[in-house]
Structure 1
Amino acid sequence: MKKIIMLLLWGSFAGYSQEVSLSGKVINGSNQAVPFADALLLQTKDSVSYKETQTNESGEFRFSGITKGDYLLKVKTVGFEEYFKKITIQKDTVLGILSLKEISNNLDGVTITTKKPIVKRLTDRLEFAVENSSLSSNNAWEILSKTPSVTTSSTGAISIRGSQSILVTINDKKIYLSGEELKQFLENTSGEEVKSIEVITNPPAKYEAQGSAVLNIKLKKNLSLGYKGSVNTAYIQSIYPKGVASTNQFYKGKKLSLAGRYGFGAGVYVNEGTDVVHYLKEDGSIDSRWESIMRRKSKSLQQHSYRLQASYEIDSLNTISAGGTGFIAPKQMGDFTVPTFIYGSNGALDSLYVTRNNRRTPLRNNAYNMSFDHLFNAKEKISVTADYTAYWHQERQDIASEFSLPEESPYRTTRFISDNVQDIQLFSAQTDYSNEKNGTFEAGLKFGNVQAKSNLDYKDEINGDFVNNPNRTSLFLYDESILAGYTSYDKEFGKWSLKAGLRGEYTSLRGNSVTTFEVNEQHYFKLFPTIYGLYKPADGHEIGISYGKRIARPQYSRLNPFRSYYNSYSYFTGDPKLLPTISHNLSLLYTLKNKYNFDLFYRLEKDPSMEISYQDYETNMLVYHFTNIKKDFAFGLEFNTNLTLYDFWESGIQAGLSYVEDSFQGRDGNLHKNGKPTYNTSISNHFVLNKKKELTAELNFQYNSSSVQGTFVFSQTSNLSASIRKKIWKSNGEIYAILSDIYRGEKEKVATDYADQYNYFLSYGDTQSIRVGFKYNFGNQKLENKKKEGQTEEQQRL
């Protein structure tokens, strides 16, 4: 085997010695970089394409593995005249700057304002480039739902390849919003702010090892001198109305750059569902059936989101930045009335109780950051960053239940109030060094600390007074520190691109359940290797392999062992002894013609933590318990592409076929397996409806087959959505309408069925809606890049 590997490596180096490279940078007439332009290297004898590539976000392109000879370079992109240049290549060649000429009068007055989104395969990730694309008019959540390999749900859940252990970052900064909070934040974020979304299934060593995959949302940076801004507003009608409005402001001077965004949202949210629990006899027949009808109506009257960033260029080598991101919802409330019907073994109604839950759930999440970047030269730099996050969430509940027999007045009432406050403080500091002189070498150190406090005050009503219940009152303290270091190296060898890294993390944590005197301490050091290889055997073909080891630490609130009651017979509880999840990810990749992407993957997770449900027969309690199960594994094949079917029709297609299996210990003490094959597909269509390309439409369809997670089996879901958009006022404004979940295909059934456990719930998350909106851009939208003065040639190529 070693001889075979050495022979392959020797062959690749031998081929490399006969091959050379060609690189350059593409700009426009205003000296701005032209990203994602098509660069083609043609054979001069017959003008047949020899190699193809695209410019990156800095306008740079590179061909490697070129046989020496004469060629014709062709560069083309929408809105510019095609560029041609004859080249004789005998050695590694740097062309320098290539300037494209803009088409002043396209197609008799046609204004081309967008391009199609691009799926780009990089060595260690998949990049979905959406800047200035047909998706820019969507909000960030809608763009995320159209991203290859990503699955979203109406509750805000995000999964990649069936795993929900996802680290979500914005501009490589971790955000501490989850579920519905993250969904609301991204819905209030305009798609015009999004540059690209990176799906990193095997994150490199630079990223912290948390999460089975990283989803990085890259927001735009203002690269031009001057001022510009925009306002956006939308009205959404689902079961009840909602509204959002936001403004973006950008200013860039010769030294100082400022960017700000503020968004406001308000509305009424509804979740409809039915909970069904079967209690069984020893022979498996039904002893009793409990059915709860839920319609949870919540008001969120003030959703404030903001993003502020300031950057000051001290000189051409040193830059300092500071900023903040926040999501504040001070007025979130709900008043739910839930009837529960209890049927006997004969199917007749035995008794019932009605629960009223009045709750208040205000939220504050503010994150602040500072950074300093120093360039030693054009290819060597160091960055120092510090981040601080303050998260505060309160859940106040007033729950009353009335118990009665059929058609009779209540014979018993109960009432309790609870006040659960979570206060989490997070701090991290990191130093990163990179050197691109001979390949790319990266190294860094990071320290992070988390201090969390969860205080649950629980009181029962007794004879008209509220009396503290010490058995359900709790105080939970959590302290975690992580010290990490990493190093990685990548380099191109002819047709090969290789990258390898190693990250080490030492974790020290202490969970203290003060009320029960239960303390959980863990100290461990783990190594996380990553390796990537990308081979280009011929023009239009790329073959890759990647492996990564990851860790998923539980959310701080999931470590709290005390009970959060939904009603008198249902509660949620955490586990202070939760173990971290270790996952191994292996992928085999193939890309055809820079357009068709195939990904064969395998994932193994040890001790994954997740929510499971079980029935306690002694108390008739339905318990939702966040705990570790034994293992999870999945394997499958994914495919995605973006096609231009006609001049007026673009289509993004993705599909996946996989098998997922979870192993867990049941309430009966036995080991159970829950697994099944799953299938998902998504088709996003963009249509241009008039000659000036000012009227566009979209038609999108998603389908997810039945799937599993822990003890749960999820039913199939689908979603059909459509939209229409019209540019107005010389394309500075836009009006639009979006229809979502047209036939309510997002309705879902989630069931647990093993041994003597049988329960399920039906859920609909108010996903059917119509959104009408308006956007307007003001200021100078055609700002020119500032001229770099006093810089070396190497610095100008940064």
Structure 2
Amino acid sequence: MTTLKLCLAAIAAMLGVATAMAQTEKKDSVNYSLNLQEFVVKSTAPRTKMRNGAMVTRIVGSPLESAGSVEDMLSRVPGMMRMGGQLQVIGKGSPIYYINGRKVQDLEELKRLRSQDIREVEVVNSPGAAYDASVNAVVKIKTRRQQGEGLSGRFDVSDEQALKSGNNNLTSTLNLNYRHEGLDFFGGVTFQNDYLDGYRSLLEQNTYLKQNTNSIVSHTQTGYTQSDQKFSRMFFNAGVNWQFDDDNFIGVKLERGIWLKNRYWFEMEEDVLRNGVKEDYLKSESDIKYKNPNTLLVNAYYNGKIGKWGIDANVDYYSQCDKNDNHVNEQAMSGMRTVESMTENKSHLFAARLIAEHPLWTGKLQLGGEMTTVCRDNDYRISGVDNIFDRMSNVNEQNYAAFFEYGIMIPKAGMLTLGMRYEHVAFDFDDKTDPSRSVKRNHDDFFPSLSFGTRLGTVEMQLSYGVKTTRPSYYQLRSEIDYGSKYTLQTGNPLLENEIRHSLDLSGRWKWIAFNVNYLHIEDAIYDWTSPYDDNGVVMIGMVNFDRPIDVFCAFVNLSPTVGVWTTSNTVGVQKQWLSFNLDDPREATGKRHVTYDKPMLIFNSDNAFRLKRDWQLELNSQFYSKAHYRNVRLLQAYWNLTAAVQKSFLKDKSLVVRLSFCDIFNTAKQDALLDLGNYTLKQGDVFGEGRGNYSFHRVALSVRYAFNATKSKYKGKSAGEAAIKRM
């Protein structure tokens, strides 16, 4: 704005000079002329804006451009946050991702892609009828559109080393692209080697039972768990894209993932007490070997225009195979025991999707249909334990969907969009070992959506309503019992129902201020549930649908101004849920105990970047989440992650980039948790650690990126089976 004022003042001064010269010309009859060659008026455009109700953040030309991996960049985009190492859209949970219209099948791709390649990111809080009914939020990533012929490529290597353990993550990627006129040939390979050592967690489990004498018996297991993992894997992709005119594209892409090595060790040591008196000691060591797990995805697409119709067609084939052997050595006061188990899964998917759009009156009509067929075979065998048996099962599921969406511009009011999605799902679970546990069911559901966007002065706003669902994963639907230890068993639940969510969203933007308010009503929510299995302290971990709805409120505001070389993005938010249970608890006179989970979570994220001369950039970023209740878990401590980074670009075209970061400087990115289910409680230290990929955020990371003759693949394929693949 300062630059703009100076330019306007300069214009006014020049006009004053011109007026004075004109007056002088009249008096002295001398002809003066002033030629103004060019005026440049500069201003800073807002980095985040609204487009069709979505938050769109410009990456190119901003400090986020040099954040490192796309995964690191997304954690700092307004409307997103990282919780327990997982990227989430605030208030909506984990999203699905699109890169140039193609659905991301493997989230590791977000680590392999670099932020320098990204043009903008669009966060959709309220996906419409065009998306699968299980999609809560969508993140669309658009890369830079670069032109060029011939061979181009990019090489990336990064290494992350934890400071207080042996955790190390090494990743290297090579991508090549050859372009000639309308043809685009591309391919790439990524190698990843992880050594995850010594993730340790303290835990305490309690179960309470009432005996025939009406006395209360408590079983307590207290000790620690430790896990280690070594694995290496490779990802390959190759494809061809043909742009045969300005509006029409066709292409094929193949993606292959291969695990070269994957071995996981798990150790648990605990004391077992009965009514406070030590009754047993347990030390369990598990050695899990994964044999030849691999994935294959083939996608073919057409994207273009036929007359006034816009066409987007995709066909997918996806297969996944994994097998693991689990060898458990268990030492207790009663003696030694060895348990052997084997699990093998084979999955195949075929999916097709067609979307067509056409102008209609003063708006646009979009029609579409999808078909997904999944076949999954599971074989589970176990020996060394008496009360658990082999299981063989097969899952067949067909999902047929059709939708329409119509958006119309109402003069002097705004944009109104109506949508409806219909889905027919036929689910067949065949338990070949115990036919009485087989399940067959059909679902026929309608999912409406409605949104209205308008502008009030300089404020852009959109109000949206939609109905969505969450389908249980195939792992959650399994029937076999997994052996964890002498006192811990785990199983699935083929009878799980789909989770239904009603969502009401209000989002808006004014200059460099963006906000979102969301209310969520959830029915038949799917949760882990643990309960006593017998009178000897054994517990069973399973899955249930809650018998009462959950209400969740979420609101956040983001401030993203730029002052000179300093760009800052600050998100302040709150997330609160209303959830309560009447739980079985023999310690109470009534046998029931009322439990509430309604403590709000306060969120404050602050990202600060300083862009200095000679292509240097300094960063200081912070993420904070308070103690809170999250689903049926009580988070017992605040989470804080402070990260600093320095980055430098080299060479004339800035094609060589080196980045060094120090993550979780004070080693405070942890959260302890308490699970209270009435007659069962579990307290665990650093509950999110094992799910965050590298166990420790407290680490140093170094990455180097080099690109030559930069061109981008024009591939526009969009996977048709993302939701089903994710459930695998």
Of the three residues 149, 152, 159, the one matched with 1:235 is 159
Task: Judge conservation of contact 2:465–2:505 (CA < 8 Å) in 1.
Answer: yes
Q: Residue in 2 aligned with 1:293?
A: 224
Alignment of 1:428-577 (within 5 A): 428-436=351-359, 438-460=362-384, 471-492=388-409, 493-517=411-435, 518-538=437-457, 540-577=458-495
- Name the counterpart of 1:714: 635
How far has the Cα of 1:310 moved from its partner?
2.0
Aligned to 2:250: 320
Alpha carbons 1:372, 1:385 under 8 Å: kept: yes
Is 1:729 matched with 2:660? no
Structure 1 residue 131 displacement after superposition: 4.0
- Residue matched to 2:622: 701
Task: Work out whether residues 531 and 679 of structure 2, in 8 Å CA contact, stay in contact via their aligned partners in 1.
Answer: no
CA distance in 1, matches of 2:76, 2:554: 20
The reply to whether residue 420 of structure 1 matches residue 337 of structure 2 is no
Change (3 A) 1:456 1:400: same
Q: Distance in 2 between matches of 1:665 and 1:577?
A: 22
1:770 to 700, 708, 726: 700
- Give yes or no for the alignment of 1:147 onto 2:71: no
Structure possessing the higher relative contact order (Cα contacts under 8 Å, 6 or more residues apart): 2
Question: Secondary structure, in 3 states, of the residue corresponding to 2:339?
Answer: strand
Distance 2:244 2:657 in 1: 38
Written as runs of structure 1 = structure 2, the 5 A alignment for 1:657-676 is 657-663=574-580, 666-667=583-584, 672-676=595-599
Aligned equivalents of 1:536 and 1:739: distance in 2?
Answer: 42
1:640 to 554, 558, 563: 558
- Cα displacement string for residues 586-631 of structure 1 (whole angstroms, at most 9, x for unaligned residues): 01223212x2112121001110112233344524123322221132
Counterpart contact for 2:146–2:710, Cα < 8 Å: no
Shift of 1:292: 2.7
Paired position in structure 2 for 1:384: 313
* Residue of structure 2 equivalent to 1:604: 521
Unaligned runs of 5+ in 1: 1-37, 48-80, 85-99, 101-114, 405-410, 462-468, 786-798
The structure-2 alpha-carbon separation of the partners of 1:494 and 1:153, relative to structure 1 and needing over 3 Å to count, comes to same
Structure 2 residue 547 is the aligned partner of structure 1 residue 625:
no
Three-state SS of the structure 2 residue aligned to 1:425 is strand
Q: How does 1:43-54 map to 2 (within 5 A)?
A: none
Change (3 A) 1:124 1:512: farther
Deviations 1:227-269 (CA, angstroms, capped at 9, x unpaired): 3221111221112232111122233322101333321110211
> Are the counterparts in 2 of residues 612 and 710 from structure 1 also a CA contact under 8 Å?
no
Which of residues 250, 253, 271 is equivalent to 2:180? Answer: 253
What do residues 603-662 of structure 1 show as CA deviations (whole Å, max 9, x unaligned)?
011101122333445241233222211322101311113220x22111111121121133
Aligned counterparts of 1:590 and 1:453: Cα–Cα separation in 2: 47
Matches within 5 A, 1:188-337: 188-219=112-143, 223-238=147-162, 239-240=165-166, 241-270=168-197, 271-280=199-208, 287-300=218-231, 302-337=232-267
Trace 1:392-411 onto structure 2 (pairs within 5 A). Answer: 392-404=321-333, 411=334
Q: Which residue of 1 aligns with 2:54?
A: 125
Q: Deviations over 1:68-124 (max 9, x none)?
A: xxxxxxxxxxxxx9768xxxxxxxxxxxxxxx9xxxxxxxxxxxxxx9993232224
Q: Tell me the C-alpha RMSD between the 2 structures.
A: 3.2
- Which SS does the other structure have where 1:142 is aligned? helix
- Cα pair distance change 1:545/1:451, threshold 3 Å: same
Could you tell which deviates more after superposition, 422-431 or 251-260?
Answer: 251-260
TM-score (norm 1): 0.76
What amino acid is the match of 1:521? K
Query: Contact between 1:185 and 1:305, CA under 8 Å: does it hold in 2?
Result: no
1:560 Cα shift? 0.3
- How far 1:161 sits from its partner (Å)? 3.9
Residues 303-322 of structure 1 show CA distances to partners (whole Å, capped at 9, x for unaligned) of: 22244342112334532111
The answer to whether the 8 Å contact 2:568/2:607 transfers is yes
Q: Are 2:424 and 2:443, in contact at CA under 8 Å, matched by a contact in 1?
A: yes
**CA–CA distance in structure 1, aligned partners of residues 347 and 394 of structure 2:** 10
Per-residue CA deviations over 1:101-151 (Å, capped at 9, x if unaligned) read xxxxxxxxxxxxxx9993232224223332454323411221232233333
- Cα deviation for residue 219 of structure 1 reads 4.8
The match for 1:587 is: 505
**Matched residues in 2 for 1:610 and 1:754: separation?**
12
Report the Cα offset of residue 442 of structure 1: 0.9
Corresponding residue SS for 1:676: coil
Q: Structure 2: which 5+ residue stretches go unaligned? A: 13-37, 586-590, 690-694, 715-728
Question: Which residue in 2 is equivalent to 1:70?
Answer: none
CA distances 1:192-241 after superposition (whole Å, capped 9, x unpaired): 34444332221111111113333444455655444322111122111223
What letter corresponds to residue 714 of structure 1 in structure 2? L
Report the secondary structure of 2:349's partner residue.
Answer: strand
Q: What is the deviation of 1:354?
A: 0.8
Matched residue SS, 2:479: coil
User: Per-residue deviation at 1:550?
Assistant: 0.8
Map of 1:353 onto structure 2: 282
Distance 2:321 2:121 in 1: 28
Return closer, same or farther for 1:426/1:672 CA change in 2, 3 Å cut-off. farther
Question: How many pairs does the alignment contain?
Answer: 656
Tell me what 1:63 maps to: none
* Distance in 1 between residues matched to 2:356 and 2:260, nearest whole Å: 41
1:136 corresponds to 2:74: no
Q: Distance in 2 between matches of 1:188 and 1:219?
A: 14
CA shift, 1:775, in A, is 1.2
SS in structure 2 at match of 1:187: helix
Which amino acid in the other structure matches residue 520 of structure 2?
R
Letter in 2 for 1:628: N
In the superposition, relative to structure 1, how do residues 117 and 558 fare at CA in structure 2: closer, same or farther (>3 Å)? Answer: farther
In structure 1, the residue corresponding to 2:455 is in which secondary structure? strand
What amino acid is aligned across from residue 116 of structure 2 in structure 1?
Answer: E
Deviation at 1:360, TM superposition (A): 1.7
Shift of 1:706: 2.5
Contact 2:265 2:288 in 1 (8 A): yes
Contact persistence 1:264–1:303 (CA under 8 A): yes
Question: Using a 3 Å threshold, how does the CA distance of structure 1 residues 82 and 460 change in structure 2: closer, same or farther?
Answer: farther
1:713 is aligned with what amino acid? R
CA contact (8 A) 2:319 2:348 kept: yes
Classify the secondary structure of the residue corresponding to 1:148: coil
Distance, in Å, in 2 between the alignment partners of 1:116 and 1:511 is 54
Q: Report the AA paired with residue 668 of structure 2.
A: G
User: 1: distance between equivalents of 2:278 and 2:382?
Assistant: 32
- In structure 2, relative to structure 1, the CA distance for the partners of 1:120 and 1:39 (3 Å cut) is farther
User: Who is 2:718 aligned against?
Assistant: none
